[in-house]
Chains A and B, each alone.
Chain A
Amino acid sequence: MMPVATTFFFYFLSIIAVVSAIVVITRKSPVHSALALITTLLSLAGLYLMLYAPFVAAVQIVLYAGGIMVLFLFVIMLVNLEKAQLEERFNKQWQVALIAVLTLGALLIFIFEKGRSVFPQTVTNFPENTNTQVIGLLLYRDYLMPFELASLLLLVAIVGAVVMAKKRV
């Protein structure tokens, strides 16, 4: 059974996501970009909810919109950006970059057009109420080793960030 408003919400959320992504890369002030990026992240969390991934959606909001973006805003406030805002926004090779990106986009469209039939037509319906449970089991059983490696990576990142941002080591 399909929910009624799925199509509308899909287009609504994805238009918000793409438009605010474009706002992110075009605004002059980094604070505006950060706010637009938060909008993108929140609408992506909505898309995850539509894909029956409530746990990933929650992690997206808590970690991305809550954690990483606060980090970004802190750095924006630490770094004096008055001078950068007066300068030119885009660098000199932007035409070359646009050509490269258009080529990449054409390639992606070509692949999607070619591979349209490869995807299975039926989607599996996961029970939503046990989603977090199943992900926890996967993380701690099948992916135990990568999970521990990720914790090690985060530890190294913490130490690295502190060492990098310190005045004198």
Chain B
Amino acid sequence: MAEITTLHYLVVAAALFLTGVIGVLTRRNVIIILMSIELILNAVNLNLVAFSRLYNLHGQVFAIFIIADAAAEAAIALGILIAFFRNKETVNMDEVDLLKW
């Protein structure tokens, strides 16, 4: 079998990224949308680590920063979700329209 190059990792990351985008655009459940965002962030992380193998370790440091950001994002988003659920009793994305009116 052929040797695994950086391009292989990039293709896997692209597949994960596209899956995450499909999830964000098509699902109605807010929790699944947040999970899709985590998928997108992980695809970016895989890209960074794969590129850092070509040059130096700075890419891995960036991956760690992105993981920290993902933790902050998940905490805030789930807090907003709990506040929203308390008001509306639903987790459907289509009903998040308070700012429209």
Contacts and interface: CB of A to CB of B under 8 A. Distances in A.
Contacts, number: 235
Interface in B64-97: 64-65, 67-76, 78-83, 85-86, 89-94
Nearest to B8: A10
Contact of A98 (B14, B19, B22, B54): B22
Q: How large is the interface on B (under 10, 10 to 19, 20 to 34, 35 or more residues)?
A: 35 or more
Interface in A78-113: 78-81, 83-84, 87-91, 93-94, 97-98, 100-101, 104-105, 108, 112
B64 A56 contact: yes
A33 B69 CA distance: 22
Interface residues of A, number: 85
A60 to B, nearest CB: 7
Contacts of B22: 25, 97-98, 101
Given A59-B67, A104-B21, A153-B68, A112 B10 contact: yes
Contacts of A67: 71
B49 A89 contact: no
Contacts of B16: 17-18, 21, 40
Contacts of B80: 164
Contacts of A30: 29, 31-32, 35
Contacts of A60: 45, 67
A100 to B, nearest CB: 7
Dominant secondary structure of chain A at its interface with chain B: helix
A163 B78 CA distance: 12
25 contacts: A8-B1, A14-B8, A25-B19, A25-B35, A30-B35, A33-B35, A37-B35, A48-B46, A51-B53, A53-B53, A55-B64, A71-B74, A75-B78, A89-B29, A91-B93, A100-B21, A104-B21, A112-B7, A116-B7, A119-B7, A138-B57, A154-B71, A157-B71, A164-B82, A165-B83
Interface of A: 2, 6-8, 10, 14, 17-18, 21-22, 24-25, 30, 33-34, 37, 40-41, 44, 47-48, 50-53, 55-56, 59-60, 63-64, 67-68, 71-72, 75-76, 78-81, 83-84, 87-91, 93-94, 97-98, 100-101, 104-105, 108, 112, 116, 119-120, 123-124, 126, 131, 134-135, 138-139, 142-143, 146, 150, 153-154, 156-158, 160-165, 167
What are the nearest 9 A-B pairs in CB distance? A164-B79, A97-B25, A25-B23, A157-B72, A161-B79, A161-B75, A94-B26, A14-B12, A7-B1
